[in-house]
Structure 1
Amino acid sequence: MSVFIGGAWPYANGSLHIGHLSSLLTGDVLARYFRLKGEDVLYVSGSDCNGTPIAIKAKQEGVSTKEIADKYHNEFKDCFEKLGFTFDCYTRTDHSLHHQVVQEVFLELLKKDKLYTKVESQCFCKTCNQFLADRYVEGICPNCGAEARGDQCDYCSKLLNPIELIQKRCRTCGDSPIVESTEHFYMKLRALQEELENFVSHAKKEGLWRDNAIQLSERYLREGLVDRAVSRDLSNGVRVPVKGFENKTIYVWIEAVIGYYSASKQWAKEHQADEALFWNKETISYYVHGKDNIPFHSIIWPAILKSIDKQPLPTHIVSNEFLTIEQKKLSTSRNWAIWVPDILKRYQPDSIRYFLIANAPESRDADFSWREFIYSHNSELLGAYGNLVNRTLKFVEKYYGCTTPKGKVDSMIRKRVCAAYDEIGALIKDTKFKLAIEALFSIVRDSNKYFDEKKPWNQIKEDEIGCANTIATCVYTIANLAQLLNPFLPFSSQTLQRMLGISEMKWMEASYNPVSLSKVELLFEKIDLDRIDEEIEILRRGTDIEE
């Protein structure tokens, strides 16, 4: 089986925050799981280096768009690597191959009569002397009355045309733009209404998408799809490959999603492979992103793929709700955010991964609380998992000379562990990651209870055979937990793999055989509770949000 996993592409105009991680981490869980199963996996993403956000940042800092893109692309790569993301290809949208592939897709859409030109009204700023990209126009959403950008309202998720905004203003200078005419290419989305209705209906019937993706997609379809512009008057981006339109760029909403396809071609080129293995009707695909990216993956990308006869359409859409911070909406503009480069300096990557997966906004908004983060680390990772590993392996070190004893694994525990591979695997495949990690930590807690009930510190004096069986059972459980938790907590799993001499991680039972331990080390260290107030103070000092 071939599995394609696409993680949403963060804009290279500022550092990653934990909202990004909350949406993207499960892509790595999926990739690690399917690789352990022995499946063919292609996991791709990249930095979005084209379009308005980067141009705005470059103008603010008085540097080129390339300097901004380079800075944040490199920072993103570093953060993802430190967090254990296992992308097969992490690229960028200003890569020459991406430009080539996007232009090829554009021309194919044109050849198949899926595009047409139209003169349209667009906002023009006389002060800046330029047509304004949609994100350069800000104002009041005509649908819900909230502050919105010209392309989409984050509050009600409605896709917008900037000229619809009330009290429009130029984001750069603040002046009110005028409306002038310009010619652009449009995609015939309206003609795909029925096909996309059937596509969304199938996903709903089979339970393949998150509820928010189904609900939002159905809403767009009920309102009726409209043809959308696929070109813009911008300097930063992929040029329209048509005579007379060379000064225009391909609109980022169509260009960015084509990045999944161009990234697969880049991977194939770099590895002398064939990307067709992942672009056929037999492939299972997962698209991992936040709620604000739903229409681009449930409507726009399927429309493009249908129009160029490319399979598969998105099989699973893994779209998280929003993450708040200390009960307040995350705001990068007001610095009410926890930045990934900063949190990585102070906390273990597995601690970050655990909390953001176990407390993810899978079906409703979730909150990041420093108190919960630190208590979760100390109680679950250190107090439960770390304690099970340390007390067991230290016992082996003290009483068995660093070699695990010849003992018999408890049959009921073995039965439960073996069943966990199927149970946890099914939950991961169905994108129910919170339930999966909770089920695994239930095994951890029960294993600690088993250790306490057996009292090996007494058994070693009174019942050597019973003690050997107890320790063998605990070591067996730990070895299998190392594999079962590998998709979620890869760094601690790697440490256990080294300590227990596990030659290769697989998604199948690790049988028990006596083994000589390498140096026993702590998986996790306690976080001082004083850090809670310190972190909250750091957060508050950096923002202008009133209490």
Structure 2
Amino acid sequence: MSLPKRYLITSALPYANGLKHVGHLAGAYIPADIYARYLRAQKRDVVFVCGSDEHGTAIPIQATKEGTTPRAIIDKYHEAMKQDFEDLSMSFDIYHRTSEPIHHETAQEFFTYLNDRGELETKETEQYYDEEAKTFLADRYIKGTCPNCGSDRAFGDQCENCGRTLSPDELINPVSTLSGKAPVKKKTSHWYLPLGKHEEFLREWILNEHKDDWRATVVGQCKSWIEGGLQSRAVTRDLDWGIKVPLKDAEGKVLYVWFDAPIGYISATKQWALNNGKDWEPYWNDKDTKLVHFIGKDNIVFHCIIFPIMLKLHGNILPTNVPANEFLNLEGDKMSTSRNWKLDMRDYITDFVKKENGGGQTVDMLRYYLTQIAPETKDSEFMWKGFQDAVNSELVSIFGNFVNRTWVLMHKLCGGKVPKLHEELLDDEDRKLMAEIENAKAKVENLLEEYKFRDALFEVIDLSRRGNQYMQKKEPWIVAKQLAENPEAQKSIDNTMHLCLQLSANLAILINPFLPNTAKKMIGMMKVVEKMLDWENAGKLKLLSVGYTLRAPELLFRKIEDDEIKYQVEKLKSGLVKPETTTTKVEEAKSETANLKSEIQFDDFAKIDLKVGTIVTAEKVEKADKLLKLSIDLGFETRTIVSGIALHFKPEDIVGKQVVVVANLAPRKMRGIESNGMILMAEDKEGKLHFVSPSTVINPGAGVS
């Protein structure tokens, strides 16, 4: 298979509403940087783009918190994030921002193109409206009581206390965060992208074409969305902050941030092209371009389903791969900005990088650990003790130790010069090491091409481990003691040190995509130009010329001390904001009745856990004649359950009805809605359904036996 003519690499655009933590770094930025650096070392045509996502409700909300303007917020955090990325050696070809005029123009052109060709549809819906503030309310501008845990820290999209995803209609006693008053429902019209029209294309493209070369978690999530039924998604919203909808009848409306943000990859490429006298179009319109999106798993639906539909309709190329990572947890708990349980990139830079001379080695220490624990196939854990062990036991004791021993012994036993290789004296151990050096390139290369960065890094470290083993077997310091009686022993020393030096040169090439500062330091010790790091040189055994004088050894890494780790753990725990502890009736009921049995499938029906519930709300599921979406109060929580009873009951007639719920049935998506349980029904001989209900009203959550 021939190689693509060019590569376009993207990392998810971070929201410019605050500093980003190392979970973001591990998920979307370090993997992309490794891949881009590898491609550059291959001398391939590659452009690596990223930038700040500066629209959406997150920005004005942060501005309100800080008592300033949205513009001040994006200016502040754009510069902060850009600097943090630079300090941690991210090699973006451009770090752009979606507030730039070129992005507004690009996004508006994209919308106009789709709208003029009838690819968008308009709908009138009812949304919450603040009569005092005279504005429609985005989900995040609505606050109320969580129906799940009873917390008053619930917003229209999510509860800050229990983390449950919500809709504004589920909130108890909703109020506007702008005025503090209860909002009203008001009609508004918006443009929508009808995702369902493109289901056949997605099935063929993802579930058939890419079912084997994309990560299983990515394909699995896409399959779940597709089979759950794709709904139309709003392209516009009522908001002051954002890109104005370029139509006369769209006053007060902006493009939804999910629509404009990925277009930021295109506008960033345009700006890069302008800055460098290049043509941007082949990178987005030529099928001989390989487009790769690096993201976290929470962005899969946008980059694998929604944005590809947009690209297809606009005539652009589609992503070749979307190697999404899972989540990175911290010291046994999920990272949370609201609870301050996180490690910001800025904190690491302040505590480690800025305290070092140049900071390169501590930057690479973090890059190493985050790659070693990369959540490529499942969630992983950042542990400060794990960081210390990875640095001290591997970077220092294996990789750094081998390079340092090689330089020290070369200066001591070979006069500081690259010794000659006496081929007639090569033994089995020598030849075995030479073969491993030659084979390492293909091993690492194949893994990088498959986006298996963790495994590729292991191969590099393992090669340095092999170097240590080789040197230990050869013991040139012991052989040196025989020189007085046997001068010919110098040839054995020469061979050992020559191969160790050639291995060191190969290690610099192979480690460069992962630890660029380390590679730079190594070529400085070798007194060679950066061109030696070109990938084509990997696997070669004559990288350093015989008789060439090398510089004195420098330690590549330092050890992480116990007191540094203790300080970081204490700092983390002392800054934790604990969730509220106010006991509500919902929480009291939860503590009494939430001891559900294990999750079941139908084959495990004997383990069924039945609970009494009360239907709180009921509504028809769009484009599904048989389905009702029910909110059912189980006492300890409110569940969303999708039930096929719409032909038998009107939604308004069953609100308040008590039902029996299979409470431990595995969640299942139906028409894009996650159903968490099943209600029991009885069917008479005419085929009419009847509720299985308690004979008298009892407390929701009561068990059924």
TM-score computed with the length of structure 2 as normaliser: 0.73
In the aligned structure 2, how far is the partner of 1:155 from the partner of 1:42?
A: 41
Q: How big is each residue's C-alpha offset from its partner over 1:284-334, in whole Å with a ceiling of 9 and x where there is no partner?
A: 1211111111111011110100111211x1111121111111101111011
Partner of 1:391: 405
1:363 partner SS:
coil
Specify whether residues 225 and 255 from structure 1 end up closer, same or farther in structure 2 by C-alpha distance, changes over 3 A only. Answer: same
Partner of 1:8: 12
- What's the offset of the Cα at 1:489? 0.7
Specify whether residues 314 and 110 from structure 1 end up closer, same or farther in structure 2 by C-alpha distance, changes over 3 A only. Answer: same
Partner of 2:371: 357
- What's the offset of the Cα at 1:246? 4.0
Task: Tell me whether 1:471 sits opposite 2:497 in the alignment.
Answer: yes
Of 395, 414, 429, the match for 1:381: 395
Partner of 2:619: none
Of 37, 47, 65, the match for 1:60: 65
Q: How does 1:170-189 map to 2 (within 5 A)?
A: 170=176, 176-189=182-195
Of 504, 507, 511, the match for 1:485: 511
Of 535, 539, 552, the match for 1:507: 535
CA contact (8 A) 1:203 1:315 kept: no
Partner of 2:629: none
Q: How big is each residue's C-alpha offset from its partner over 1:49-83, in whole Å with a ceiling of 9 and x where there is no partner?
A: 11111110111111111111111111111111111
Partner of 1:308: 314
Q: How does 1:29-428 map to 2 (within 5 A)?
A: 29-126=34-131, 128-137=133-142, 150=156, 162-163=168-169, 168-170=174-176, 176-208=182-214, 210-279=215-284, 280-311=286-317, 313-347=318-352, 348-407=362-421, 410-428=430-448
* Higher deviation after alignment, 153-162 or 474-483: 153-162
CA contact (8 A) 2:411 2:552 kept: no
In the aligned structure 2, how far is the partner of 1:534 from the partner of 1:299?
A: 44
2:211 partner SS:
helix
In the aligned structure 1, how far is the partner of 2:498 from the partner of 2:162?
A: 56
CA contact (8 A) 2:440 2:463 kept: no
- Report the AA paired with residue 375 of structure 1: D
CA contact (8 A) 1:407 1:469 kept: yes
* Higher deviation after alignment, 89-98 or 503-512: 503-512
Specify whether residues 431 and 143 from structure 1 end up closer, same or farther in structure 2 by C-alpha distance, changes over 3 A only. Answer: farther
Specify whether residues 176 and 363 from structure 1 end up closer, same or farther in structure 2 by C-alpha distance, changes over 3 A only. Answer: farther
CA contact (8 A) 1:336 1:545 kept: no
- What's the offset of the Cα at 1:460? 2.7
Specify whether residues 135 and 199 from structure 1 end up closer, same or farther in structure 2 by C-alpha distance, changes over 3 A only. Answer: farther
Specify whether residues 339 and 137 from structure 1 end up closer, same or farther in structure 2 by C-alpha distance, changes over 3 A only. Answer: same
CA-based RMSD of the aligned residues comes to 2.6
Partner of 2:651: none
Partner of 2:472: 452
Larger radius of gyration: 2
In the aligned structure 2, how far is the partner of 1:489 from the partner of 1:35?
A: 15
1:411 partner SS:
helix
- What's the offset of the Cα at 1:511? 3.6
CA contact (8 A) 1:447 1:474 kept: yes
CA contact (8 A) 1:157 1:292 kept: no
In the aligned structure 2, how far is the partner of 1:144 from the partner of 1:287?
A: 37
Q: Which runs of 5+ in 1 are unaligned?
A: none
- What's the offset of the Cα at 1:399? 2.8
In the aligned structure 1, how far is the partner of 2:175 from the partner of 2:479?
A: 76
Specify whether residues 200 and 143 from structure 1 end up closer, same or farther in structure 2 by C-alpha distance, changes over 3 A only. Answer: farther
CA contact (8 A) 2:52 2:97 kept: yes
Task: Tell me whether 1:498 sits opposite 2:524 in the alignment.
Answer: yes
Higher share in helix: 1
- What's the offset of the Cα at 1:157? 11
Partner of 1:434: 454
Specify whether residues 175 and 456 from structure 1 end up closer, same or farther in structure 2 by C-alpha distance, changes over 3 A only. Answer: farther
Specify whether residues 449 and 278 from structure 1 end up closer, same or farther in structure 2 by C-alpha distance, changes over 3 A only. Answer: same
Specify whether residues 345 and 163 from structure 1 end up closer, same or farther in structure 2 by C-alpha distance, changes over 3 A only. Answer: same
State the aligned residue count: 545
Q: How big is each residue's C-alpha offset from its partner over 1:192-221, in whole Å with a ceiling of 9 and x where there is no partner?
A: 11111211113543322x222111111111
In the aligned structure 2, how far is the partner of 1:406 from the partner of 1:172?
A: 77
1:284 partner SS:
strand
Partner of 1:528: 561
In the aligned structure 1, how far is the partner of 2:164 from the partner of 2:65?
A: 28
Q: How big is each residue's C-alpha offset from its partner over 1:140-197, in whole Å with a ceiling of 9 and x where there is no partner?
A: 8999999976458999999976446666554556655332111111112221111112
Specify whether residues 154 and 501 from structure 1 end up closer, same or farther in structure 2 by C-alpha distance, changes over 3 A only. Answer: farther
* Higher deviation after alignment, 160-169 or 213-222: 160-169
1:444 partner SS:
helix
* Higher deviation after alignment, 97-106 or 125-134: 125-134
2:262 partner SS:
coil
Specify whether residues 446 and 52 from structure 1 end up closer, same or farther in structure 2 by C-alpha distance, changes over 3 A only. Answer: same
- Report the AA paired with residue 431 of structure 2: S
Specify whether residues 436 and 227 from structure 1 end up closer, same or farther in structure 2 by C-alpha distance, changes over 3 A only. Answer: same
- What's the offset of the Cα at 1:123? 2.0
- What's the offset of the Cα at 1:381? 0.8
Partner of 1:443: 463
CA contact (8 A) 1:163 1:179 kept: no
Specify whether residues 354 and 222 from structure 1 end up closer, same or farther in structure 2 by C-alpha distance, changes over 3 A only. Answer: same
CA contact (8 A) 1:9 1:47 kept: yes
In the aligned structure 2, how far is the partner of 1:144 from the partner of 1:435?
A: 42
- Report the AA paired with residue 93 of structure 1: T
CA contact (8 A) 1:122 1:163 kept: no
In the aligned structure 1, how far is the partner of 2:299 from the partner of 2:158?
A: 10
CA contact (8 A) 1:326 1:369 kept: yes
- Report the AA paired with residue 249 of structure 2: G
- What's the offset of the Cα at 1:356? 0.6
- What's the offset of the Cα at 1:387? 0.6
- Report the AA paired with residue 473 of structure 2: E
In the aligned structure 2, how far is the partner of 1:149 from the partner of 1:224?
A: 26
In the aligned structure 2, how far is the partner of 1:171 from the partner of 1:215?
A: 37
Q: Which has the higher contact order (CA 8 A, sep 6+)?
A: 1
CA contact (8 A) 2:8 2:291 kept: yes
In the aligned structure 2, how far is the partner of 1:45 from the partner of 1:166?
A: 40
Specify whether residues 315 and 395 from structure 1 end up closer, same or farther in structure 2 by C-alpha distance, changes over 3 A only. Answer: same
* Higher deviation after alignment, 318-327 or 144-153: 144-153
Specify whether residues 8 and 140 from structure 1 end up closer, same or farther in structure 2 by C-alpha distance, changes over 3 A only. Answer: farther
Specify whether residues 375 and 202 from structure 1 end up closer, same or farther in structure 2 by C-alpha distance, changes over 3 A only. Answer: same
CA contact (8 A) 1:131 1:233 kept: yes
Specify whether residues 172 and 318 from structure 1 end up closer, same or farther in structure 2 by C-alpha distance, changes over 3 A only. Answer: farther
* Higher deviation after alignment, 165-174 or 479-488: 165-174
In the aligned structure 2, how far is the partner of 1:48 from the partner of 1:340?
A: 18
